[in-house]
Amino acid sequence: PFGDNGALALSFNAMEQYYQEQGRDWERYAMIKGRILGADAHDPNVSLLRRLLRPFIYRRYIDFSVIQSLRDMKNKIAREVRRRGLEDNIKLGAGGIREIEFIVQVFQLIRGGREIGLQRHELLKLLPEIEKLQLISTQQCEDLRQAYLFLRRVENVLQAINDKQTQLLPTNELDRQRLIAATALFTQWDANLQPTEIRYPIHNWESFYLVLQRHQQKVRSVFDVLIGDNNDSEDNNSNNDWNDFLDNDFQNEELEQILINSGITESDHEAMIEKLNQFRNSLTHRPIGVRGQDVLARLMPGLLLQIFQHDAYLTLLPRMLNIVEKILTRTTYLELLVENPQALSQLIELCAQSNMIAEQVARHPILLDELLDRNSLLNPPPFEQYANELQQYLLRLPQDDEEQFINGLRQFKQATLLRVAAADILGALPVMKVSDHLTFLAEAIINAVVNLAWQQVTTRFGVPEHLQEQQKGFLVIGYGKLGGIELGYKSDLDLVFLYDHKQTGQTVGGKKTIDCNQFYLRLAQKIISIFSMNTSAGILYEVDMRLRPSGEAGPLCSTLSAFEQYQHNDAWTWETQALVRARAVFGEAELRAQFDHIRQNVLSSVCDVQKLKRDVREMRVKMYEHLANTDTDKFNIKKDPGGITDIEFIAQYLVLANAPQNQALTYWSDNVRIFDIMAKYGVISLQHAEQLKQCYVDLRNRIHHLNLLGLPSIVKAEEFVQEREFIREIWQSLFD
């Protein structure tokens, strides 16, 4: 700190204060290689110092400012190479050792805060980590590794000749022959730390130089792709009419002329100019800084050019300007869009079709990182892998930082939601698959939340004494859209918590002993607390617990036996209807089987069909009176007659009315497969089942896309006329 003017030894507090307030970019690069000499892993001072320095070196956000800083540093080195005639310097020259180090460091500095595997010193061990994250290809990884080993071999030989620190290739014949002999055949360790012979086709100085150049060219090609020079993009923008948009003397007349040149409808000019001026005026009140102003000046011309080339410029302009305003003071996100033109184009395409995505990105700019790879947007992972993906994601985070762990859950949810929405918009996912992805994402997060809550509660209170190892004796039941595997983009989670408690007892192994009933109540409270905790990344999900036995008057957590007794003896018809769409989403296999048995027995209990019809019909009328749309020119897809709710009630009625004669009808919890099984057993015709399914899928698909646009689930009355008429016919045939 402070270089030659600084003290030789500093306190930890002085170190932390210096790097927080005055640390410069090049000091971050230097610190990446820094390590505590003779460090004892059990010394608390070692871990304390590492914790103090880590936020300076490895930023928690994706830090693309690094690219421009490394580019500037490399350009400075290149100027020095030209000035001093160091073209044959194997460290500083093009494709040399320093460029390999820069390539590795750029990933460490950009992503090291979120990828704990990148927080290490050894370059050769970092390359496989970078490849594992799919940031470079397998071939690029091997090219860089071989080039680094060869260049280091050359450097070692050069320095051994005269015991002198040098990286310049020799000019005299004897030293050249020494270098030829030392690089044509030598031994190095392989990946398993076994000696292996390396042979190169080197016979004379020309063949040596050819091998050297091939390695340097491979390094240079990777370096140019990742860091390179940005002169090309600047040249492409040289004829852009928007180049002077941020200048203080830019007039409305010039704005109007650009809009005319862009072919914008004249009636839209006034609104567009007003929004653009509002944005320009807002800049005067924001502490952007010199670097931020420079990056913004490079971003805006290309951004505005693309916006006004788009058919949806009327909605796109305010959405994109809102995102830019939200990230103005976080220059690294502006740099991400400048450095990755494909990410900017992807963002424009998605925001044009989805207000939800635009709002999410504005609230959580960290999501911009998800736009860097179009292939990952078009090919989301199989939804069955979400639990494993989340586990791998959380393993990359520091395990001793609870806040970052909970933030990690939210970031994973938001990033996955963005990928699913993008695949939906880009036509890569049909509506049924969208719901599958959203449902299994929620289940993966429920699993992580329950495990985190369990860890925290058991640390304090121990575990119930009757449990075996690896048991929790706890079930999470999903109702509604979660239970029906039909979650939408804005769905909350309808949950019920159950536990297995065949005997009374207490907890053991904790700091404090409590009754087992109290233990599971504390666990339920902790789960809800984690879901509801509002951090910088937002909340996880809204959780609705009103479907538990006795509703809001009932306990947060019930035993399986109490749940069974309530469902058989005290549940209202609407609660039994809700049970049709219930399924276990967390818990041991044995407990899940117990719940399935209870559910099937309740749903197949003998009932008075006429009373069932009356109860279902009255509940539907009550919902319509309180919730439905009263505008005859509009159709509420979810709540109006002939909409989603009618289809759901039809499915639930068919199960409850017919399951007493055939328990197999209770198996499925989702509407589509309920209609399939009703047709299979002849309860309804195959034609009616297919029509009901198609109506349901079409209506849900429209709701999904309205959600993406940030609009309510309401359309013009002229839409879905045939579907509504068919659904009303089925309703009348069952209930009238």
Write out the DSSP string of 651-692. HHHHHHHHTTT-GGGGS--SHHHHHHHHHHTTSS-HHHHHHH
pLDDT value at residue 238: 56
Quote the pTM value: 0.72
Nearest-angstrom CA–CA distance, 472 and 520:
10
Residue 235: per-residue pLDDT? 45
**pLDDT (0 to 100) of residue 539:** 82
How many whole angstroms from its chain centre is CA 177? 55
Task: Give the per-residue pLDDT at 439.
Answer: 94
Strands (E), 194-349: 195-199
101 to each of 29, 70, 219, 604, how far by Cα in Å? 10, 11, 10, 68
Domains of the chain: 58-226 (1.20.120.330), 232-372 (1.20.120.1510), 394-603 (3.30.460.10), 609-735 (1.20.120.330)
Q: Which of 224, 285, 233 is nearest to 99 (CA)?
A: 224
Rounded Cα–Cα distance for residues 323 and 319 (Å): 6
503 — phi, psi (to 5°)?
-145, 150
Separation of alpha carbons 523 and 544, rounded Å:
16
Measured CA to CA, the distance from residue 575 to residue 578 in angstroms comes to 5
* Backbone angles phi and psi of 12, in degrees to 5: -60, -40
> What is the tens place of the pLDDT at every residue in 318-353?
999 999 998 888 787 888 888 888 889 989 999 998
Higher pLDDT, residue 656 or 466: 656
The DSSP code for 502 is: S
DSSP state of 381: P
> 207: burial class by Cβ within 10 Å (0-12, 13-18, 19+)?
middle
pLDDT in tens, 585-616: 999 999 999 999 999 999 999 999 999 999 99
Cα–Cα dist 295/282, whole Å: 17
Residue with tokens 């309205």: 706
**Rounded Cα–Cα distance for residues 211 and 227 (Å):** 24
Joined tokens for residue 672: 């589509």
User: What average pLDDT does this structure show over 241-262?
Assistant: 85
Residue of 622, 129, 135, 690 whose CA lies nearest to 369: 135
pLDDT, tens only, 12-30: 988 888 888 778 777 887 8
Which of 406, 675, 689, 345 is closest to 533 using CA atoms? 406
Q: Is the pLDDT of residue 469 over 90?
A: no
Least confident of 179-193, 561-575, 576-590: 179-193
Q: What is the pLDDT, as a whole number, of residue 232?
A: 47
CA distance 203 to 36: 44
pLDDT given at position 723: 93
Give the residue from 468, 467, 488, 476 showing the smallest Cα distance to 448.
476
Provide the pLDDT for residue 234: 47
Output Rg (C-alpha) for the chain, integer angstroms: 32
Q: What percent of the chain has pLDDT over 90?
A: 49
Residue 357 in contact with residue 708, Cβ under 8 Å?
A: yes
Residues 6+ apart with CB under 8 A from 636: 628, 629, 643, 713, 714
